[in-house]
C-alpha cells in the first residue's frame, strides 16, 4: 500500500491556455513582461536548485537556518496534524518542520510542477512510513481547494515566493489563504527582507551566471511550448533594485533590434535595441509591511523569527 498519491487540480490544457494568455498579454504590453511562474520547466527547476547553492544567493540558507533553529517553537505554537506547503518544489527545507511536528499525519505539497512533486513526495512517503503524502498539482495563485484532512492545519508558503506577486496579487492571495483556514489553523510565511542594495543585486546577478541562464531559460520555454524563435543569447540578463517599490526586477534586454515570431499565437514581436522584457519581480519586506499586509487579509502575525544576520524572516499567523 502506498501512502503517496497525486491529485491534478490543474488540467494540462489549462496550463497550456494560461501560458498562451500570459505570453500574448505580456509580449503585447508596454513595457513587455512575463510572469515568473513560467521559469520552472524541468531545466528551470534544476537551475533554480543550483541558484540556491550559490554563494551570493543567501535566502535559501537564511530560511533553512531559521527552520533549523526554530522548528520546535513553530511546532509547539501550532501542533499541526496536516502540513500544507504551497510551492513546495523539492520539499528540501520542509524536512525540519516534518521532523518537529510529532503529531503530523498528512503532508500536502502543492506545486504547478508535477515532476518535482512526484519525486519529492514519493521519497518522503518512503522515508516516513507513518505519513500520508497527498500531493496537489495546482496553481495556488488561482484559487485553491484543499483535501479534507485533520486540523490543526499549518499552511506554509516559504522561500520568499510571495515576493514574486505584485502588491494587488499578494492582497488577493493572502485573502484567499485566509479563507482556507479554520480556527486553530495557521499560516507560516517566508519573506526576504530589505537590505543593502549591493547584496540584493548580487543575489540576482551571480558571478557564475547561473541566474542569467535561469532568466534566459524562460525564452527556451516559449520556444518549445509555443514554437517561438527567441535566441536566448540575443538578450542580456539584467537585475536591478527598485528602491521605490522595494523589489528586485529581473529583465532580459534585447541586444539588437529584432523581431521574434510566436507561431502558436500568430504573433510577431518587435524588440528595439536595448528594449527590456520584465521577467520577475522579487519584493523584499520590512516587518511592518508584512504585518500590514497580513492584517489587511484578516491575519494577525503572532510570531516572527529571523536568521542571525536578519536577512530573512518567517512569520506565523494563527487564526
Ligand atoms: C522563487 C522567490 C525563491 O525571487 O528569489 C531566484 C526565484 N529568481 N533567483 C526569488 C529566483 C532569481 C526566487 N523565489
Q: What is the pLDDT of residue 1?
A: 47
Smallest Cα–Cα separation from 173: which of 26, 9, 6, 296? 296
Q: Mutate which of 44, 159, 195 to test ligand 1's pocket (most atoms within 8 Å of Cβ)? A: 159
Between the CA of 2 and the centroid of ligand 1 the distance, in Å, is: 33
In this predicted structure, the answer to whether residue 163 has a pLDDT above a threshold of 60 is: yes
Give 275-313 pLDDT, tens digit per residue: 999 999 999 999 999 999 999 999 997 799 999 999 999
Per the rule left: phi > 0, alpha: psi between -120 and 50, beta: everything else, 160 is: left
Q: Give ipTM to 2 decimals.
A: 0.98
Tell me: is residue 159 an annotated ligand-binding position.
Answer: no
Residue 63 alpha carbon to ligand 1 centre in Å: 13
Q: Across the chain, what does the average pLDDT equal?
A: 94
CA of 51 to the centre of ligand 1 (A): 9
DSSP string, 35-90: -GGGG-SHHHHHHHHHHTTSSS--HHHHHHHHHHHHHHHHHHH---SEEEEET-TT
Q: Which atom of ligand 1 is nearest to the CA of 52?
A: 6
Neighbours of 295 (CB within 10 A): 13
If you write DSSP's letter for every residue of 120-173 in order, what string do you get? Answer: HHHHHHHH-TT-EEEEEE--GGG-------PSSEEEEE-TTGGGGS-HHHHHHH
C-alpha cell at 267: 504573433
pLDDT the model gives residue 117: 86
Tell me how far the alpha carbon of residue 151 lies from the centroid of ligand 1, in angstroms.
31
The tens digit of pLDDT for each residue in 173-198 reads: 999 999 999 999 999 999 999 999 99
Q: Find out whether the beta carbon of 89 lies less than 6 Å from any atom of ligand 1.
A: no
Name the closest-CA residue to atom 5, ligand 1: 282
Q: Say what the pTM is.
A: 0.95
Are the C-beta atoms of residues 156 and 248 closer than 8 Å to each other?
no
Q: Which residue, by CA, sits nearest to atom 4 of ligand 1?
A: 282
* pLDDT digits 0-9 by tens, 241-272: 999 999 999 999 999 999 999 999 999 999 99
Across residues 218-223, what is the average pLDDT? Answer: 98
**What b/e sequence results for 187-223 when a residue is b if at least 16 CB atoms lie within 10 Å of its CB, and e otherwise?**
bbbbbbbbeeeeebebbbbbeeebbbbbbbbbbbbbb
Specify the 3-state DSSP secondary structure of 29.
coil
DSSP 168-235: HHHHHHHHHHHHH--TT-EEEEEEEB---HHHHHHHTS-TT-HHHHHHHHHHHHHHHHH-----GGGE
pLDDT-above-70 percentage for the chain: 99
Coil vs helix vs strand at 106: strand
Give pLDDT, residue 172: 96
pLDDT of residue 2: 59
Amino acid at each position: 500500500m502506498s501512502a503517496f498519491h497525486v491529485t491534478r487540480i490543474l488540467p494540462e490544457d489549462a496550463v497550456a491556455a494560461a501560458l498562451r494568455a500570459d505570453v500574448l498579454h505580456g509580449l503585447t504590453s508596454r513595457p513587455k513582461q512575463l510572469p515568473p511562474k513560467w521559469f520552472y520547466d524541468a531545466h528551470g527547476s534544476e537551475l533554480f536548485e543550483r541558484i540556491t547553492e550559490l554563494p551570493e544567493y543567501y535566502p535559501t540558507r537564511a530560511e533553512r537556518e531559521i527552520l533549523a533553529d526554530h522548528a520546535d517553537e513553530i511546532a509547539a505554537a501550532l501542533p499541526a496534524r496536516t502540513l500544507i506547503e504551497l510551492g513546495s518544489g523539492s520539499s528540501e527545507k520542509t524536512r525540519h518542520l516534518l521532523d518537529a511536528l510529532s503529531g503530523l499525519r498528512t503532508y500536502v505539497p502543492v506545486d504547478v510542477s508535477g515532476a518535482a512533486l512526484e519525486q519529492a513526495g514519493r521519497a518522503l512517503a518512503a522515508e516516513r512510513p507513518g505519513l500520508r503524502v497527498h500531493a496537489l498539482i495546482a496553481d495556488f495563485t488561482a484559487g485553491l481547494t484543499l483535501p479534507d484532512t485533520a486540523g490543526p492545519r499549518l499552511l506554509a508558503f516559504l522561500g520568499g515566493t510571495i515576493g514574486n506577486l505584485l502588491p494587488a496579487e499578494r492582497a488577493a492571495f493572502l485573502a484567499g489563504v485566509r479563507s482556507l483556514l479554520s480556527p486553530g489553523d495557521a499560516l507560516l510565511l517566508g519573506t526576504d527582507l530589505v537590505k543593502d542594495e549591493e547584496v540584493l543585486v548580487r543575489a540576482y546577478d551571480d558571478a557564475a551566471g547561473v541566474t542569467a541562464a535561469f532568466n534566459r531559460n524562460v525564452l527556451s520555454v516559449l520556444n518549445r511550448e509555443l514554437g517561438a524563435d527567441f535566441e536566448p543569447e540575443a538578450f542580456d540578463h539584467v537585475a536591478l533594485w527598485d528602491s521605490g517599490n522595494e523589489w528586485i526586477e529581473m529583465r532580459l534586454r534585447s541586444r539588437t533590434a529584432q523581431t521574434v515570431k510566436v507561431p502558436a499565437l500568430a504573433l510577431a514581436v518587435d524588440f528595439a535595441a536595448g528594449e527590456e522584457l520584465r521577467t520577475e519581480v522579487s519584493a523584499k519586506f520590512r516587518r511592518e509591511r508584512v504585518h500590514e499586509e497580513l492584517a489587511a487579509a484578516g491575519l494577525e502575525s503572532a510570531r516572527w523569527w529571523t536568521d542571525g544576520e536578519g536577512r530573512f524572516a518567517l512569520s506565523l499567523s494563527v487564526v
